[in-house]
Amino acid sequence: MEPLSHQEAADGADPELPPALLPRIGDAAHAGMDEESSAWSVFDISGARGLIARIAAGDMPDGWTRALLDAVRVVDIDDNALRALGPIGGRRRMVGAPVTVYWPAESWPVLAELIFAELADIPGAARTRKIVSSVFNDATVNISTDPAHPDLVFVSVGGGVTDKRSLWSLRASEERYRTLIHHLPWALVLVDSTAMLPIFDELRTAGVTDVGAYLDANPGLPFESRAIVRVTDANRNAVELFGAESADRLIGPVDYLFAASPDTAKRVITAHFDGRRNLTEIMKLRTFDGRLRDVQLSITYPTPPERLDVTLLMFEDVTERLQTEVQLRQLQEEYARAARIATLGELASSIAHEVNQPLAAIAMNAETSLRWLARDEPNLAKVEQLTKRIADSARHASEIVQRIRGMAGRHVPKRTALDLNRVVEEALMFVCHDIEARGIQLGVKLDIGLPRVLGDRVQLQQVVVNLLVNSLQALAGRPHSQIEVTTSGDGFGGVRLSVRDNGPGIAAEDLHRVFEGFFTTKQDGMGIGLAVCQSILAAHGGGISAANQAQGGAFFQVTLPPVTD
Amino acid sequence: MSRPVVIAIVDDDLAVREALCEFLQVEGMAALGFERAAAFLDRASEFDCVISDVRMPEMDGLELQRRLRACGSAMPLIFVTSLADETACAHALRNGAIAWFAKPVADAALLGALRVALGNTGGGA
């Protein structure tokens, strides 16, 4: 027997593969289908005989179509069927597998009924049926047997493409698509999630609307679906990303995709159930050779949603990018900290004054208490009152020290929901006395009821301090100098902070450079204050702008987005 | 009949102001605190002596001293401050301030200065 030219005919010498049976199809092709445009498969039904006998005897259990096809094994397929059913899995992988692994689920009932009709020899039952399938489009499926091979059925699917020219153009277009998919710079995986359809239907019938909550209550579902939803195709980059020896490894249940990120699997199912068109998130991926990678997963769900066979999963390895970002953030924090320490140095006398005030009050109150106690009749009520004040002042001093430590210390930026007004008040502590000492009039107008912003307390304090220091330096030696700090909503749900002064303003030619690192117009300035402000705000998703006021003086404006859930 | 000695405390920091007032009270003197120099100046004639901070918003201690002298008052003035500024200190003393103390001020030193300020009466009515 001359074997048909299989895609993998090159390794046709593999002794495990049964001799090709497909030459027989010439004899079996009697349904008038064009052989060239048909897809042929040969199935071994020996494992399903018991079930067929049961059904023939009138016992038709629920889900028998699937049970039957699970028991039916692939013996051989031709190139067309290989293309249609398991292009990457390959013939070698398909042979011996249950039919359910490769056959499109929406056509399981038709195929099972045909097999049953043929083997149970139901008189009058059709041996040719129409199917509408995601894999075959509108097609006709035909079944036949051969007395010489009682355990085999021959299944041909055809009619989807009837004219040879269109078959060839279809193949050419398929090749183009395949080339495109394989050479895309991202790891691409095609998933057939047809099996989710009945599960989703069941959930909807049961009245489930919030599948996220349902999954939390029934943690089994993601695992179940991960086993029945299948990868049907994968490109070269996917093979490389997963550290697989060949694409074969990637074809099959989607389990391995989410092995390191079970929560992602949950969100994927939820988005699918909710009818979303796509989903993007960063997840951890465990490769076949045991490495853990950070990848960005982008899913494009099928359109229309009924075409569940073509969910597209794209993975981009972002491990290095994330590492670089972490390093960059560390560098930025080092830089910001250096700037903070420099600023603290400049503000040393102001800060010393701030700490010294409560200490002076403590010393004096302690002295006064001792005097009340030394009397013949100690005034204990007074001592109690003064001791409370001592405790308050000590706490106040400690808070100030905490804040200074926060500014000077190394810290990992931490995002919390912050009241910008409070941040401004805290920042003023560092600068207040410098401002007063220079006879600058400070106006503070804080809009109460601002939405909270997500940010790092110390870094945002730093922004406010830098802007204030910038202003007070610009005002040096000028009479009637004023600084005004205001907070307000930005009209887009975010928050705005403005710092204005009546100093000389910013020279027009410098306006575009004020946020550049090491740009300064001051003789002893380092030019890092405003650059740090900008990098801090960029990291917070906010912005900063510099302008001159019409009446003179600089005007800095900071915007920050509100906290979003 | 001489009225009791009343001393004004001018400091923008509440805790410091209160502490000084309490200290003077235990020493038998009446004291009244002012957060702003201007508020004190409005009522300056009511006091026998003023203890003032130097760094304060709106009007600082040296300006307070200048205005006090400008309106002809010879009220004794004692500075208690965290400001380590020798020029300002020299300027204040040259213009007749009784003393210039760094915070926190030693109680004995402050009492000594007050005694000088109040004409060695040792405080009290």
Which of A206-210, A379-383, A415-419 has the weakest average pLDDT? A206-210
B84 inside 8 A of chain A by CB: yes
Answering whether pTM is above 0.95, one says: no
Q: What does chain A come to in residues?
A: 565
Q: CA A17 to CA A37: how far, in whole Å?
A: 25
Q: CA A394 to CA A388: how far, in whole Å?
A: 10
- Mean predicted confidence (pLDDT) in A326-338: 79
Q: Which two tokens stand for residue A264?
A: 């992602």
Q: At what angle do helices A262-273 and A196-205 cross, to 10 degrees?
A: 70
| DSSP-derived pairing of the beta strands B30-34 and B6-10 | parallel
- Mean predicted confidence (pLDDT) in B99-107: 90
Give residue B47's pLDDT: 94
pLDDT at A222 over 70: no
The answer to whether the CB of A529 falls within 8 A of the CB of A470 is yes
pLDDT exceeding 70 applies to what percent of chain A?
A: 84
Closest Cβ–Cβ partner in B13, B22, B83 for A368: B22
Chain B nearest-CA distance from A344, in A, is 17
The answer to whether the CB of A420 falls within 8 A of the CB of A460 is yes
Cross-chain Cβ contact B84/A349 below 8 Å: yes
Chain A nearest-CA distance from B107, in A, is 7
Chain B nearest-CA distance from A526, in A, is 26
Cross-chain Cβ contact B60/A372 below 8 Å: no
pLDDT exceeding 70 applies to what percent of chain B?
A: 93
Identify all chain A residues contacting B13, using CB atoms and an 8 Å cutoff. 357, 361
- Could you give the angle at the alpha carbon of A73 between the alpha carbons of A174 and A107, nearest 5°? 55
Identify all chain B residues contacting A361, using CB atoms and an 8 Å cutoff. 13, 15-16, 18-19
Q: CA A459 to CA A411: how far, in whole Å?
A: 10
- Mean predicted confidence (pLDDT) in A18-27: 49
User: Measured on CA atoms in the order A323, A327, A330, A332, is the torsion positive or negative?
Assistant: negative
pLDDT at A215 over 90: no
Amino acid at A88: I
Q: What is the largest CA-CA distance in chain B?
A: 42
SS (H, E, C) chain B: CCCCCEEEEECCCHHHHHHHHHHHHHCCCEEEEECCHHHHHHCHHHCCEEEECCCCCCCCHHHHHHHHHHCCCCCCEEEEECCCCHHHHHHHHHCCCCEEEECCCCHHHHHHHHHHHCCCCCCCC
- Mean predicted confidence (pLDDT) in A522-546: 79
Based on the number of CB atoms within 10 Å of its own CB, is A389 exposed (0-12), middle (13-18) or buried (19 or more)?
Answer: buried
pLDDT at A476 over 90: no
Identify all chain B residues contacting A437, using CB atoms and an 8 Å cutoff. 55, 60, 83
Cross-chain Cβ contact A382/B22 below 8 Å: yes
The answer to whether the CB of A100 falls within 8 A of the CB of A66 is yes
Tens digit of pLDDT for each residue in A275-328?
Answer: 888 899 999 999 999 999 999 999 988 765 555 567 889 999 999 988 888 887
Identify all chain A residues contacting B58, using CB atoms and an 8 Å cutoff. 441
B46 inside 8 A of chain A by CB: no
Cross-chain Cβ contact B56/A436 below 8 Å: yes
- According to DSSP, residue A260 is labeled T
pLDDT at A26 over 60: no
The answer to whether the CB of B49 falls within 8 A of the CB of B118 is yes
The answer to whether the CB of A53 falls within 8 A of the CB of A73 is no
Closest Cβ–Cβ partner in B13, B23, B58 for A357: B13
Categorize the per-residue pLDDT at B104 as very low, low, confident or very high, splitting at 50, 70 and 90.
Answer: confident
Q: Which two tokens stand for residue A123?
A: 């008189």
pLDDT at A521 over 60: yes
Q: Which residue has the tokens 């330096």?
A: A473
| Disruptive mutation site among A357, A373, A482 for chain B (greatest number of B CBs within 10 Å) | A357
Q: Which residue has the tokens 């204030």?
A: A468
pLDDT exceeding 90 applies to what percent of chain A?
A: 27
Q: Which two tokens stand for residue A202?
A: 């069941």
Categorize the per-residue pLDDT at A126 as very low, low, confident or very high, splitting at 50, 70 and 90.
Answer: confident
What are φ and ψ of residue A128, in 5° steps?
-130, 130
Tens digit of pLDDT for each residue in A33-92?
Answer: 445 567 888 999 999 999 999 998 888 888 898 899 999 999 988 877 777 776 555 677
Q: CA A261 to CA A240: how far, in whole Å?
A: 19
> What is the side-by-side strand order in the sheet with A137-146?
A73-77, A39-44, A149-158, A137-146, A128-133
Residue B75: CB atoms within 10 Å: 16
Which of A82-91, A235-244, A269-278, B39-48 has the weakest average pLDDT? A82-91
Identify all chain A residues contacting B59, using CB atoms and an 8 Å cutoff. none
- Mean predicted confidence (pLDDT) in B61-71: 93
- Mean predicted confidence (pLDDT) in A234-252: 88
Closest Cβ–Cβ partner in A363, A382, A433 for B104: A363
DSSP code per residue over A336-388: HHHHHHHHHHHTHHHHHHHHHHHHHHHHHHHHHHHHHHHSSS--HHHHHHHHH
Instruction: Give the residue on A whose Cα is nearest the Cα of B84.
Output: A349
Q: Which two tokens stand for residue A554?
A: 């600089």
DSSP code per residue over A101-153: HHS-GGGHHHHHHHHHHHHTT-TT--SEEEEEETTTEEEEEEEEEETTEEEEE
Q: What does chain B come to in residues?
A: 125
> Higher confidence at residue A154 or residue A529?
A154
ipTM of the complex: 0.89
- According to DSSP, residue A481 is labeled -
Give residue A3's pLDDT: 39
Tens digit of pLDDT for each residue in B5-24?
Answer: 899 999 989 999 999 999 99
Chain A nearest-CA distance from B76, in A, is 21
Give residue B38's pLDDT: 94
B 51-80 residues inside an 8 A Cβ radius of A: 55-58, 60, 80
Give residue A172's pLDDT: 63
Instruction: Give the residue on A whose Cα is nearest the Cα of B104.
Output: A360
Q: CA B52 to CA B62: how far, in whole Å?
A: 9
Q: Which two tokens stand for residue A475?
A: 């005002």
Buried b (16+ CB within 10 A) or exposed e, B41-58: beeeeebbbbbbbbbbbe
Question: Please, what is the average pLDDT of chain B?
Answer: 88
Q: CA A529 to CA A523: how far, in whole Å?
A: 14
What are φ and ψ of residue A5, in 5° steps?
-75, 100
Q: Which two tokens stand for residue B27?
A: 């020493």
Reduced to 3 states, what is the DSSP secondary structure of residue A254? Answer: helix
Cross-chain Cβ contact A360/B104 below 8 Å: yes
| Disruptive mutation site among B13, B21, B22 for chain A (greatest number of A CBs within 10 Å) | B22
Residue A520: CB atoms within 10 Å: 18
Cross-chain Cβ contact A392/B15 below 8 Å: yes
SS (H, E, C) A142-209: EEEEECCEEEEEEEEEECCCCCHHHHHHHHHHHHHHHHHHHHCCCEEEEEECCCHHHHHHHHHHCCCC
Q: Which two tokens stand for residue A24?
A: 């027989």
pLDDT at A133 over 70: no
Cross-chain Cβ contact A372/B19 below 8 Å: no
Give residue A232's pLDDT: 84
By C-alpha distance, which of A177, A68, A160 is closest to A114?
A68
The answer to whether the CB of A77 falls within 8 A of the CB of A20 is no
